[in-house]
Structure 1
Amino acid sequence: MKKLLLNIFLIILFPCLTTAQAYIPYRVGNLFGISDEQGKMILPAKFDKIVIGYDKDFTGISKVENQIKTSYILNNKVLISNSDYTYFEKKQDFIIAIKVNDPDSYERSNGNPDYLTQKLFNLEGQELLGRSYQNIIVVEDQKTSFLTGSSLLLLYDRKERYSLVLFDKKQKKITKTYFQNSYDVDTDYDLFPKSFSIDFNDQAGTKKKLILEFENGKIKSEKTEAAIKNRGNNITGSSYGMPPPPPGIPRKEPKPSIPAGALENLETVTSYDYIITPADPEILRFIKRAADFKYAYLKKENSKIGYFLADKNTYLIPPKYDGIYLTEGHGVFYSGFVLKNNNQYQILVTSDGKQEFITAPFDLFPLYDGRDYGRKGFQLIKLFDKDNKFFCYANSEGKLYYTK
């Protein structure tokens, strides 16, 4: 009885001890579902692909009668099923569903929203606003919700006009429109989240500035005033209005001497998953660059390769591997490597010249995907097959989230 009461007390006092859990796309045959860390299926494998989001959410991708359908998954529940949207974004208490209407033009335009259709949903999967827009911006910091029960939305419609509205989450409707039909806006977050200001054009086309101040989860005050015109000069060339000097003849740098045993090139490996063609597989990319012999380079001894720190005259990674690849995405103070030996691969992460962790060996090529994924201490690994295509996920201890 005392043990039972102690367990109940611990659950109440430290809920994170029982609820902290990572959820991972799990491959069964050629389909994907979602499992917990131990591999217990939470959502059955019915998708051709699952993309991990940024806030405990996923996008499931299916091929239905030769058409690509997407589903939005949050907290292991499918909220939007078999849609025609290209991808989804979770913004505070909203889901923005985005369809890319013309992928080629969208890519050439560097992401111009004129080629998008967006709709707003709440976290229950209910559609809001009653119409689509080309762009929907939730004017809230990703970490601090400065309004209680409502949100500011900046909407860009099919007529290429902006509106700023206050949306009540409980009533599920717009309760105030600050301006609409503005052909241009300029936002100012300098004093955010204490205040927010935005320049817009009123109905007469006059430039105005709206200033909103916040306090205790509400809008404390609002005022509209004439916008200050941009006083910056647009003169090209030098600061005195003179044309820049002609380019000089480039100096030919001498080719640096190559230390004994040094390899002339390094390879950085990353992956590519194109968001506007969601059905395409994620692909490994190997990027070759010249070594910096003043700083660090790969060095071969007795047919084995190590990673040598020239400025410290020592090995960070001893020469006992068949191949070493640099990886990215570990943070400012971390360095990541994939080490190859006897056709097996391991990920090594270092910090300040010291080993932080190294994974179990894998037969497939591993790529680090997320530090503290789902919970502190859980490292998520992507595995790629011999064709450099994504195969499945794994943890750092070598467990594969895959069954035939």
Structure 2
Amino acid sequence: MSGNQWGPPPGPQPQPPYGAPHGGQPPSYGAPQWQPGPQYGGPPPSAPYQGMPPYGGGSGGPGGPGGPQFGWGAPPGGPSGGQPPRKKGGGGKAVLVVLGVVVLGGVGLFGVSKALKDNDSYAGPSYSSSSYTPTYGPSASPSVATSQPTRTTTRPTATKPTAPRTTSTPKPKPGPTDTDLVLRNKLYKAGAMKAVSCKESRSRPSNVSGARANYANLLKCLNKSWPALVAKSGARFRPPTVQPFSGTVTTPCGTGNDSGPPFYCGTNETIYMNLTEDIGNYNRYPQEYQKVWARMWMLHQFAHEYGHHVQNLTGILAANHRIRYEAPSQALELEGSRRLELQASCFGDIFIGSNKRSYPITGQSLFQWKWLILHWTDHNNDHGDGVNHRYWATRGFNGRNPSVCNTFAVSSAKVQ
């Protein structure tokens, strides 16, 4: 069905910015925001979302000095406040330990009487005791007369130096650099995602129980879809926690509220889903197509935040955080953020595309998914514009393979 019959949305629709208020905590990753679905009007969202200062902004507003801001995402183990210390170069070098061992050996030479050998002296084995008495077999008898004295000739002890042995601890293999983790992560070679026959929950997000049922269903599906790929990347899979919230929520990544979007906090590996937002989107408009848009919007938001969890498990999230902190300019720092956010959407749409037949993503659902991946505005220049978001979301949806989501390997133009 041609999308032209729906036409453009009626009039200008203000776009809520990304993120949520910050409290000087490790950053979290906020989901992108979209316009309501197209056709037949309906008022824009009544409560615009509060803007999120870009990374590096302080209390003085966007662009000011200070730590990472809430709405960006905290790598595991991040600081509880302020910025992490700048890196002071590479890791420690292995120390080569050389142990010089010189063994001095003495050779004891003992004479044996002429009665035993027809020689003046015999270089026999050395023994530790001078009272050594030879042992004979059962049928043997001593051949040395007890009354005959024994002449002993002692040769000088020779000192034979031994070549020193060198014992060294092997140098540990250097781990992947931050650039390796984002640009050459093994996840990109993990292969295509297999369908898990995920079906949309029959509950509708018209109330708290309906929204929670949708979150639980999506979490179950995503926890089946990603473990195999994460394992192939060499990382250990851990399912995230999902925390629905209304009003104000306090997290290790800062304090948020339901005037902002859902977000992911890497410190406690938790996806925070905004109940107020999802229920409000579904109930705001009476038209059925708008309700389909609200359901697709919730699906994409949840999958996007789960994409941040995959980045966290595979090291991409923390590595990107460090790279952005060391960026020589705010422009490059923001570009690093856009690469991360566009990849999270691409990862999310790998899951949606892999299960498009069973969910299903067809007809009006497919149309509304296509609408929302394009119609959004990047107010803070930290998530990517609509054209580039559609490019990466479509790549994930059609390719269903993390290899198509390497946003760190493309030119700046692809992540504007």
Rg: which structure is higher?
2
TM > 0.5 between the two?
A: no
Q: RCO greater where, 1 or 2, for CA within 8 Å and sep 6 or more?
A: 2
TM class by smaller structure: under 0.3
TM-score of the superposed pair, with normalisation by structure 1: 0.18
Bigger strand fraction? 1
Bigger helix fraction? 2
